[in-house]
C-alpha cells in the first residue's frame, strides 16, 4: 500500500482510540518534528493497530502491559482511557494490572493501579 494509506489507516485508528481533545494534544508533536509525527501515525498506529488478526481490545491489553512493564506511566493515562473507550471494562483493566504484578513486580503495578484509579474517577 502507499504511504498515504498508512497515514490514513493510523488516523482512523486514533479516532477509535482517543477523544478529540487527546488527539489534539498529540498533534502538537507535528510542530516539533513533522517527520516524527508522520512515523507515529503511519507506523505506531497505522502499521500496528490497523492489522486484523487481533482485536482492538487484545491490542490494548498488549499496549497497557508494555507501558506498565517499562514504567512508561506518562503514556499510560491516555491508553487507559483508550481501553475504556474501545470496550474493556474497569474490572478487566484492574485484572490486567493484577496479572502484571507477578511479572513486573509490585512497584510498577501499584503505580499503574493508582493511575487507573484516577482515570476511573474521571470517567
The only residue of 3, 19, 24, 123 in contact with a second copy, by rule CB under 8 A:
3
Interaction mask 36-55, a second copy, x per CB under 8 A: x--xx--xx--xxx-x-xx-
Q: Does 123 bind a second copy (CB under 8 A)?
A: no
Looking at the Cβ atoms of 11 and 48, the one nearer to a second copy is 48
Distance in Å, CB of 114 to a second copy, minimum: 7
Q: Are 18 and 26 in contact (CB under 8 A)?
A: yes
Residue ranges of alpha helices (H) inside 20-105 are 20-26, 29-32, 34-39, 48-49, 56-69, 73-85, 90-104
Q: Are 90 and 99 in contact (CB under 8 A)?
A: no
Amino acid at each position: 500500500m502507499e504511504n498515504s494509506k498508512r497515514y490514513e489507516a493510523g488516523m482512523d485508528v486514533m479516532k477509535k482510540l482517543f477523544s478529540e481533545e487527546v488527539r489534539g494534544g498529540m498533534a502538537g508533536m507535528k510542530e516539533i518534528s513533522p517527520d516524527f509525527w508522520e512515523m507515529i501515525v503511519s507506523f505506531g498506529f497505522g502499521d500496528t493497530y490497523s492489522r486484523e488478526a487481533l482485536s482492538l481490545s487484545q491490542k490494548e491489553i498488549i499496549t497497557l502491559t508494555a507501558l506498565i512493564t517499562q514504567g512508561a506511566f506518562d503514556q499510560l493515562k491516555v491508553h487507559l482511557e483508550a481501553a475504556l473507550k474501545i470496550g474493556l471494562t474497569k474490572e478487566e483493566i484492574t485484572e490486567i494490572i493484577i496479572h502484571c504484578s507477578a511479572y513486573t513486580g509490585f512497584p510498577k503495578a501499584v503505580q499503574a493501579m493508582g493511575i487507573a484509579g484516577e482515570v476511573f474517577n474521571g470517567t
